[in-house]
């Protein structure tokens, strides 16, 4: 009996010892999961920090304008109407009628733009859109009407985005100056803020650094890359008496420079005027393709009207809608701005 009791007690103790690790000590799977959980937040945190820094940098660089926000709202509204029309066409045709108020509402900004063009005595793509969209919507073709509205707002948004981002690209290329400079005071270099530097101060610039000011070299010698500002592919040698400019790069050597212009008075700070001239080329002087196509709008509208008795409404609409202005207006401008942006990334500035 005593032996049996001892065996039972020993068995219970053994079972308790065997089950104890699962309660007090984690298994290999639990340990692996815990280690992975501890490692994952660190990895995700680093990734999030990198992504956040990138996003913040892009947000600071590219500011969404009021016009772009308005186009975003119009595009969302038109896209929702298009989705309703597509669902109605596929599933339940009467549902398409729900998009009719949206089509009428979306025509308001198109008519407004056309009215402004007519007031300026211009027959351009805005007038063409107003006519074609009125014909399509008036004949009850809601799906093509919604597609036309979406295309109209999308093309204007893409062009506006290209202009804004091209301008930001050029600002990034030509506007990156060091915020800390080495000011020479009584023979010693003292780091100070660029905003504290004024004409007449003496600064030092070493190899690998970007010149923050315009000035005259009073000491030292260096090889300077001026391609970003002047377009010169070959670096130039700078020594005492030569002129240097902000945003150029010292490749080798050290220069002591007496500041002549700092801050907004430097040559690189005048790039804003060049930017305005470059990005306004499309708006003010217009591309050749747009200028030629504008001359065809009125004759094509007249041709469509004269052909109405012969080919009917559908034929007239096809004639008017065949004008290349709708395609060229967005494609030519986007191509020009795209290649200007590529040139800016390569450090090439195309001036008007």
Q: Could you give all domains of the chain from N- to C-terminal order, each with its CATH number?
A: 66-173+274-345 (no CATH), 198-261 (2.70.150.10)
Threshold 0.85, pTM exceeds: no
Residue 190 vs residue 314, higher pLDDT? 190
Give the separation between CA 162 and CA 208, rounded to whole angstroms: 33
Strands (E), the chain: 180-185, 188-193, 202-205, 214-225, 236-238, 243-244, 249-261
Q: What angle do CA 258, 263, 264 make, to 5 degrees?
A: 130
pLDDT tens-place string over residues 155-168 = 778 777 766 766 66
Residue with tokens 């590219």: 62
Mean pLDDT of the chain: 74
* DSSP at 184: E
Helix axes 100-119, 142-174, angle to 10 degrees: 60
Give the separation between CA 291 and CA 72, rounded to whole angstroms: 28
pLDDT tens-place string over residues 259-308 = 998 877 787 777 656 665 655 555 444 556 666 777 788 888 888 889 88
């Amino acid at each position: 009996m005593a032996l049996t009791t001892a065996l039972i007690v020993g068995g219970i103790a053994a079972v308790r010892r065997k089950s104890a690790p699962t309660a007090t000590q984690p298994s290999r799977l639990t340990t692996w999961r815990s280690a992975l959980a501890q490692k994952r937040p660190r990895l995700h945190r680093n990734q999030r920090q990198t992504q956040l820094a990138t996003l913040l940098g892009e947000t600071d660089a590219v500011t969404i304008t009021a016009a772009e926000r308005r186009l975003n709202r119009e595009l969302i509204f038109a896209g929702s109407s298009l989705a309703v029309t597509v669902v109605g066409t596929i599933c339940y045709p009467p549902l398409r009628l729900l998009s009719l108020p949206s089509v009428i509402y979306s025509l308001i900004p198109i008519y407004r733009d056309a009215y402004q063009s007519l007031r300026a005595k211009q027959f351009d793509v805005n007038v063409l859109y107003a006519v074609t969209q009125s014909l399509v919507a008036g004949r009850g073709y809601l799906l093509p009407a919604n597609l036309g509205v979406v295309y109209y707002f999308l093309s204007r948004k893409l062009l506006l985005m290209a202009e804004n981002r091209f301008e930001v690209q050029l600002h990034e290329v030509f506007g990156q100056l060091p915020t800390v400079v080495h000011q020479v005071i009584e023979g010693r270099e003292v780091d100070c803020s660029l905003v504290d530097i004024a004409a007449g101060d003496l600064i030092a610039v070493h190899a690998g650094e970007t010149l923050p000011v315009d000035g005259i070299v009073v000491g030292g010698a260096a090889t300077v890359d001026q391609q970003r500002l002047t377009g010169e592919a070959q670096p130039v040698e700078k020594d005492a008496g030569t002129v240097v400019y902000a945003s150029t790069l010292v490749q080798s050597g050290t220069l002591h420079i007496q500041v002549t212009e700092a801050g907004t008075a430097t040559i690189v700070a005048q790039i804003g005027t060049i930017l305005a001239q470059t990005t306004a080329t499309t708006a003010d002087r217009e591309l050749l393709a747009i200028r030629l196509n504008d001359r065809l709008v009125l004759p094509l509208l007249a041709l469509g009207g004269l052909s109405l008795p012969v080919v009917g409404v559908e034929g007239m609409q096809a004639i008017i809608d065949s004008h290349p202005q709708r395609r060229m207006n967005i494609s030519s401008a986007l191509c020009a701005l795209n290649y200007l942006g590529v040139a800016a990334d390569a450090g090439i500035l195309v001036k008007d």
